[in-house]
C-alpha cells in the first residue's frame, strides 16, 4: 500500500503559495497560486510572476496531501503537546447538536461525508456533522450559488479573502467573531497581521488556517555546479548573470555535452529572477509621492526584467519560455537540466528530489541568499501567514451553544502539537489521524498517511490545521525520510530563520478597485514585460508601460490602497 507523510502541516493541496506573482493582489486565487507549490495536484504550481503560480504570495502544498493527511491533531489547550486522550471541548458534554459545513478541497477522491472520521467526530464532540466537500476547481462557481440561495451551512470554508468574501461579510452573511475568540487559547494566538486579512470594517469574519510566512518558494541553485565551475554563490545581479551563463556554456554537470540552461523561466514570468523584496511583485517600493506601489511596475522589477532580457539574449534561459508551463520547467530542473529555479522548504514532494539525486548522484541544492538592496535591506517577501479560512453563518447569532461548540472544536484542532510528539504515543494525535494502522503508519519515527484513508481521519472533516507559535516550530525537515530532501530542507530552514521577511501590508486590507481590476492590469504588464525580455519591445519603454498602467486604473488602485493603509495604520514591516 502506498503511503504519504502526514506529520507535516500541509495546506491541503493549497492552490499556490510559492513566490511573489506578477499579480500579487489581495485575492487568494493569485496569492494561493503562490502557495500551490503542490507538486502532485492538478491545477497547482509555483510562481513569481503569475496569478496561477506564486511563491511568496500565498502558501502551497506540494505533496498533494489532503486535510486528512495533515496530521495536525492538537494535543492539549496549553500548546505543550501532552498526550491527553480526554482533551476535548467541555461543550461535548452538552446536548447533541447538528453542525453543517461546506468547504473546498484538493482531495481526490472526495472524502466520504459519512466516513469513519466523521463518525469519530460525532462521538467525541456530541454532534451530528453534515459535511459537504466540493473540488476547488468547482468551488469558485459553487459557493456563490450556495450563498445566493440563502440557506447556508453553519460553517463556510474559503480558500482565501477575495472580493466575494468582503461582499458577503458586508451583506451580513457571516457572523462577526470579535466577541468570541478570546475564550479560545489557540484561536486567540493568531497574530494581528493575519486577523487583519479577515477583518472587514473592524469586524472579524473568518478564522484563518495557519501557513508559514517564511517558507514560500525561494530561489535555489545547483551548488555542485557552482563547485564544478569554481564559482561562488551569487550576491548581486551581475554575479547571477555570470553564473547563469556559465551554467549554460561551461558544462557544469561535466557530461561533455552542452545540454544545460542557467535559469528556469516559464510563461507569465513565473518565478523570474527576484532576489529579495525590492525586486519582486509585492508592495514594497514607493513612487515619487511616497505611495507604496505594486512591485511589477517598480524600478526593482525593471532590473529583474533587464537581467532576464540579458539571459535570454545569451541563451541562458529557454527560447520557448514564454509558452512553457511552470510545471514543465520544474520537471526540467529536477531532471538536472537547469541550474537555478525555485522551491520551498515546506510541504514538498520528496519524489522529485529523489529523482534528481538518482539521476545526478553528486547533486547538491542550496537557497540563494537574498541580495542586499539599495536601501540596505536584505530579505524575502513573506506569505500572508495563512491559507484557507472558515466563516460562521450569521444566523448562528442566537444560538450561543452552537457557536461555542464549533469554536471549541476549531480550537481543539488548531492547538499545536510539537513535531516530535506527532506519533502513535500521543493520544490526541493518534485519534485525529484515525489511529495507527487505519489512517497512518509509523515509519522511522515519522507518521506516514495511508493513501486513500482520508475518510478515516477526523482531521479531514473540519479542515483545520495547527497554529504554530513560530514558523521554526514547524520543523519541516523532521518529517522527511529521504536524506537528500531532508538535507536541502534543513539547510534552507537554517538560512531562512536568520533571514528577514517582509510582511506585505496589502495582504491586510481590502481594496474594491484592486479586487475588480488588478488581474487585467497585471496581465497587460506581463505582456509588455514578456516582449521586453525576448527583445520585441525595448526596455527603454518601461516608463511608457507604467504610464499606460496608471492611466487604465492603476493609479486609482494605488490611491485607494494607500488610503486604506493610512486609515488603518498599517505599514509594510520586516520581521
Which CATH number is 178's domain given? 3.40.190.10
411 located within any domain: yes
Look at residue 269 and tell me if it is in a domain: yes
Q: What's the rounded Cα separation, in Å, for the pair 575 and 22?
A: 23
Shared-domain flag, residues 428 and 525: no
Whether 318 and 364 map to the same domain: the answer is yes
Residues 246 and 354 in one domain: yes
Same-domain status, 321 and 190: no
Supply angle C-alpha 380, 381, 384, rounded to 5.
Answer: 140
Which residues span the domain enclosing 249? 218-382+481-568
Nearby residues of 122 by Cβ (< 8 Å), 6 or more positions away: 128, 129
Same domain as 227, residue 336: yes
Do residue 242 and residue 363 come from a single domain? yes
* Sign of the dihedral through C-alpha 158, 164, 166, 169: negative
Whether residue 12 lies inside any domain: the answer is no
Domain boundary among 470, 496, 529: 470
* Helix, strand, coil percentages for the chain (3-state, nearest 5): 40, 15, 45
| Of 59, 567, 511, 11, residue with least CA distance to 294 | 511
pLDDT of the residue at 89: 54
Cβ density class 95-131: b for 16+ within 10 Å, e for less: eebebbbbbbbbbeeebbeebbbbebbbebbbbebeb
User: What string of pLDDT tens digits covers the 575 residues of the chain?
Assistant: 333 444 333 322 333 333 333 333 333 333 333 333 222 222 333 333 333 333 333 344 443 333 333 333 333 333 333 334 344 555 455 799 999 999 999 988 999 999 999 999 999 999 999 999 999 999 999 999 999 998 899 999 999 999 999 999 999 999 999 999 999 999 999 999 999 999 999 999 999 999 999 999 999 999 999 999 999 999 999 999 999 999 999 999 999 999 999 999 999 998 899 999 999 999 999 999 999 999 999 999 999 999 999 999 999 999 999 999 999 999 999 999 999 999 999 988 899 999 999 999 999 999 999 999 999 999 999 999 999 999 999 999 999 999 999 999 999 999 999 999 999 999 999 999 999 999 999 998 899 889 889 999 999 999 999 999 999 999 999 989 999 999 999 999 999 999 999 999 999 999 999 999 999 999 999 999 999 999 999 999 999 999 999 999 999 999 999 999 999 999 999 99
Same domain, 400 and 499: no
131 and 250, same domain (yes or no): no
Boundary of a domain, candidates 405, 435, 470: 470
Pairing of strands 199-200, 203-204: antiparallel
The per-residue pLDDT for 93 is 55
- Per-residue DSSP letter, 15: B
* Same-domain status, 280 and 369: yes
pTM comes to: 0.84
What is the reported pLDDT for 14? Answer: 31
- Same domain? 410 vs 540: no
Contacts of residue 320, defined as CB under 8 A and 6 or more positions apart, other chains included, come to none
Amino acid at each position: 500500500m502506498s503511503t504519504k507523510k502526514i506529520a507535516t502541516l500541509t495546506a491541503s493541496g493549497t492552490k499556490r503559495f510559492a513566490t511573489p506573482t506578477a499579480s500579487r493582489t489581495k485575492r487568494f486565487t493569485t496569492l494561493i497560486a503562490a502557495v500551490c507549490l503542490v507538486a502532485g495536484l492538478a491545477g497547482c504550481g509555483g510562481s513569481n510572476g503569475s496569478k496561477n503560480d506564486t511563491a511568496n504570495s500565498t502558501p502551497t502544498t506540494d505533496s498533494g496531501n489532503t486535510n486528512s493527511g495533515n496530521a495536525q491533531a492538537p494535543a492539549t489547550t496549553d500548546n505543550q503537546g501532552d498526550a491527553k486522550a480526554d482533551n476535548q471541548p467541555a461543550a461535548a458534554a452538552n446536548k447533541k447538536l447538528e453542525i453543517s459545513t461546506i468547504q473546498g478541497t484538493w482531495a481526490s477522491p472526495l472524502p466520504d461525508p459519512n466516513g469513519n472520521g466523521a463518525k469519530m467526530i460525532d462521538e467525541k464532540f456530541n454532534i451530528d456533522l453534515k459535511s459537504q466537500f466540493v473540488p476547488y476547481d468547482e468551488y469558485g462557481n459553487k459557493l456563490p450559488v450556495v450563498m445566493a440561495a440563502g440557506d447556508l451551512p453553519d460553517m463556510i470554508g474559503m480558500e482565501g479573502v477575495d472580493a466575494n468574501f468582503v461582499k458577503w461579510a458586508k451583506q451580513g452573511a457571516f457572523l462577526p467573531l470579535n466577541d468570541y475568540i478570546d475564550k479560545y487559547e489557540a484561536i486567540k494566538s493568531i497574530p494581528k497581521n493575519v486577523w487583519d486579512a479577515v477583518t472587514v470594517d473592524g469586524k472579524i469574519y473568518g478564522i484563518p488556517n495557519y501557513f508559514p510566512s517564511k517558507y514560500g518558494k525561494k530561489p535555489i541553485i545547483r551548488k555542485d555546479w557552482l563547485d564544478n565551475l569554481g564559482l561562488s554563490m551569487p550576491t548581486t545581479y551581475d554575479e547571477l548573470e555570470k553564473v547563469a551563463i556559465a551554467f549554460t556554456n561551461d558544462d557544469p554537470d561535466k557530461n561533455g555535452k552542452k545540454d544545460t540552461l542557467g535559469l528556469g523561466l516559464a510563461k507569465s514570468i513565473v518565478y523570474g529572477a527576484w532576489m529579495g523584496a525590492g525586486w519582486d511583485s509585492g508592495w514594497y517600493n514607493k513612487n515619487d509621492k511616497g505611495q507604496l506601489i505594486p512591485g511589477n511596475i517598480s524600478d526593482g522589477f525593471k532590473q529583474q526584467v533587464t537581467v532576464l532580457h540579458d539571459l535570454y539574449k545569451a541563451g541562458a534561459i529557454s527560447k520557448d519560455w514564454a509558452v512553457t508551463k511552470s510545471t514543465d520547467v520544474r520537471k526540467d530542473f529536477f531532471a538536472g537540466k537547469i541550474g537555478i529555479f525555485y522551491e520551498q522548504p515546506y510541504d514538498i514532494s520528496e519524489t522529485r528530489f529523489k529523482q534528481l539525486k538518482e539521476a545526478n548522484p553528486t547533486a547538491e541544492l542550496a537557497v540563494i541568499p537574498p541580495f542586499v538592496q539599495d536601501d540596505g535591506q536584505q530579505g524575502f517577501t513573506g506569505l500572508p501567514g495563512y491559507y484557507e479560512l472558515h466563516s460562521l453563518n450569521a444566523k448562528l447569532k442566537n444560538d450561543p451553544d452552537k457557536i461555542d461548540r464549533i469554536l471549541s472544536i476549531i480550537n481543539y484542532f488548531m492547538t499545536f502539537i510539537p513535531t516530535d510528539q506527532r506519533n502513535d504515543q500521543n493520544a490526541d494525535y493518534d485519534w485525529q489521524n484515525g489511529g495507527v494502522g487505519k489512517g497512518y503508519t509509523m515509519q522511522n519515527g515519522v507518521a506516514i498517511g495511508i493513501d486513500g484513508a482520508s475518510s478515516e481521519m477526523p482531521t479531514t472533516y473540519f479542515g483545520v490545521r495547527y497554529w504554530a507559535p513560530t514558523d521554526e516550530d514547524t520543523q519541516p525537515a523532521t518529517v522527511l525520510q529521504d536524506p537528500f530532501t531532508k538535507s536541502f530542507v534543513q539547510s534552507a530552514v537554517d538560512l531562512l530563520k536568520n533571514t528577514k521577511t517582509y510582511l506585505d501590508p496589502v495582504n491586510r486590507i481590502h481594496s474594491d478597485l484592486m479586487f475588480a481590476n488588478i488581474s487585467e492590469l497585471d496581465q497587460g504588464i506581463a505582456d509588455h514585460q514578456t516582449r521586453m525580455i525576448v527583445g520585441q519591445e525595448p526596455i527603454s519603454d518601461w516608463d511608457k508601460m507604467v504610464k499606460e498602467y496608471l492611466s487604465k486604473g492603476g493609479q486609482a488602485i494605488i490611491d485607494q490602497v494607500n488610503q486604506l493603509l493610512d486609515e488603518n495604520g498599517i505599514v509594510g514591516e520586516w520581521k
